[in-house]
Amino acid sequence: MSHAESVASIKGTAGAQARRRRSRGPARYSALDIFRRGVTNSDWPRSFRQHDLAKSYDVVIIGAGVHGLACAYYLAANHGITNVAVLDKSYMGGGGSGRNTAIIRSNYLTPEGVRFYDRSVVLYQNLAADLNYNVMFSQRGHLTLAHTDASLRTMNWRAEVNKLQGINSSVIDAAEVGRIVKYLDVSDRPRYPILGALYHPPGGIIRHDAVNWGYARAADHLGVQIHQQTEVLGIETAGGKVTGVRTNRGAISAPIVVNCTAGWATTISDMVDVKMPLITHPLQAAVTEPVKVFLPSVIVSGSLHVYVSQTDRGELVFGASVDPYPSYSMRGSLEFTESVASHILELIPSIGSLKVLRQWAGLCDMTPDYSPIMGVTPVDGFLVDVGWGTYGFKAGPVSGEAMAQLIATGRVPEIISAFDLARFADGRLVGEKGAASVGH
């Protein structure tokens, strides 16, 4: 059975025309509801259900992070395909989706990348209303500092590519940077003084857990089943075509299996012998104790290998480069804390007495060109949405939307056509390393 035939059979069983539906559930959140429950002191219903594993599904999605959940939600909401299972070996949103630094932006380097990530920003802007869930998206602006002539040149390059695609992005000088962020040291005191910055006003931060939970709740209301603690042990194929998966809770038959496992992507793709040019690196982050809000925008410094933003609670969230060797270990290291602390004090000397509350790591599946790998594979019915490296969370909504469209129509949407797996054999790389926040 070809992919198009599997799609036709799915549409038959779903018996629904592709149409946009609002997520309607038993408990629609509203201000009135908060008031009523506050007065009556009644419990909130669970936001998603638990199910027994069924014998078969139309689509099995491996990985219940933002990509898997968004894919499931858009399958149900945009295409009426609701017989979908999202499997996760651990808990929902516990991988990269709950470990990233929650920065959203679309100031990328290639036209393909800019168009793609900007669609994600647009979806994020409307996400709270679409999902009936407050995702706390704050478009507070995004500053990528330049400390050298070379980085200033890259910033100008990115700004021009961005403007051509209609993205609000421009290069500003050090004095302007100092007006936007009062506490930043824009003098010539530091070893690497700030020469200017790429300013991207639509960029900002979001509450990443709320995005995961919001997608999960909305998908659940539309009939999608989310199975946590359900590890995929193997993928069954027959005649070069996926027939189902084996899990620790039993076997499932399914004509379409989607790999949305980011850092663990190769452990899943190896099950069907689809070789991926991915290397898993940990990326560490840290957060300080909360202080009064003083940092108005997201600050990134590629030369100093650090980025920082302040949450609504007042904590400073730091991130840096990926660890310099492949690993699946999610332990923090002293070297990371030392490096981030010394570099951030070059930028913002006044936070020297702040204390680091905790640090953690997430796994990044790095591709050679820093662009994702999305779409079909040599195994019919085995689709991938991987290779996210350090860009995964930003791309969650657009990836889910595009993968759902691919599953429902059997055709690769134009917005992800440049990100196919075959590009590495053909030499059509989409070099996006220049848009990385920090040098990796």
Partner 1 sequence: MILIDCPYCGPRNSTEFRHAGEAGKKRDVTTNDPAVWRRYLYQQDNPLGWVRENWFHTAGCRQFLCAERNTQTNEFRWVAPAGSPGPDGASGNGSAR
Question: Which residue lies nearer to partner 1 by CB, 235 or 278?
Answer: 278
Map the footprint of partner 1 across residues 259-318, applying CB under 8 A.
264, 266-267, 275-280
Q: What is the residue-wise DSSP string for 134-182?
A: ----B---EEEEE-SHHHHHHHHHHHHHHHHTT---EEEEHHHHHHH-T
90 binds partner 1 (CB under 8 A): no
52 binds partner 1 (CB under 8 A): no
Question: Which residue lies nearer to partner 1 by CB, 70 or 373?
Answer: 373
Q: What are the structure tokens assigned to 256, written together? A: 């379409």
- Whose tokens are 């695609």? That residue is 165
Pairing mode, if any, of strands 382-386 and 373-375?
A: antiparallel
Residues 120/124/130/136 CA torsion (nearest 10 deg): 160
CB of 260 to partner 1, least distance (A): 17
Nearest of 382, 388, 385 to residue 367 by alpha carbon: 388
Residue from 148, 329, 342, 350 binding partner 1 (CB under 8 A): 329
Q: What are the structure tokens assigned to 34, written together? A: 């908060």
CB of 378 to partner 1, least distance (A): 14
Residue 226: how many CA atoms within 13 Å on its side-chain side? 29
Rounded Cα–Cα distance for residues 305 and 142 (Å): 16
**Phi, psi values for residue 400, rounded to 5°:** -60, -45
The 3-state DSSP class for residue 255 equals coil
Question: Which residue lies nearer to partner 1 by CB, 234 or 326?
Answer: 326
327 binds partner 1 (CB under 8 A): yes
CB of 297 to partner 1, least distance (A): 32
Span interacting with partner 1, options 27-35, 182-190, 320-328, 351-359, rule CB under 8 A? 320-328
Map the footprint of partner 1 across residues 250-269, applying CB under 8 A.
264, 266-267
CB of 367 to partner 1, least distance (A): 8
- Encode 96-117: b = buried (16+ Cβ within 10 Å), e = exposed: bbbbbbbbbbbbbbbebbbbbb
Question: Which residue lies nearer to partner 1 by CB, 266 or 309?
Answer: 266
Which stretches of 3-107 are DSSP H helices? 3-14, 31-40, 66-79
Interaction pattern, residues 414-433, with partner 1; x per rule: CB under 8 A: ----------xx-x------
CB of 238 to partner 1, least distance (A): 26
Map the footprint of partner 1 across residues 211-250, applying CB under 8 A.
none
Question: Which residue lies nearer to partner 1 by CB, 13 or 329?
Answer: 329
326 binds partner 1 (CB under 8 A): yes
380 DSSP assignment? B
- Tell me the torsion sign for CA atoms 82, 85, 86, 92: positive
351 binds partner 1 (CB under 8 A): no
Question: Which residue lies nearer to partner 1 by CB, 26 or 427?
Answer: 427
378 binds partner 1 (CB under 8 A): no
335 binds partner 1 (CB under 8 A): yes
CB of 6 to partner 1, least distance (A): 28
Map the footprint of partner 1 across residues 94-113, applying CB under 8 A.
none
Binding site for partner 1 (CB under 8 A): 264, 266-267, 275-280, 324-329, 331, 333-335, 368, 424-425, 427
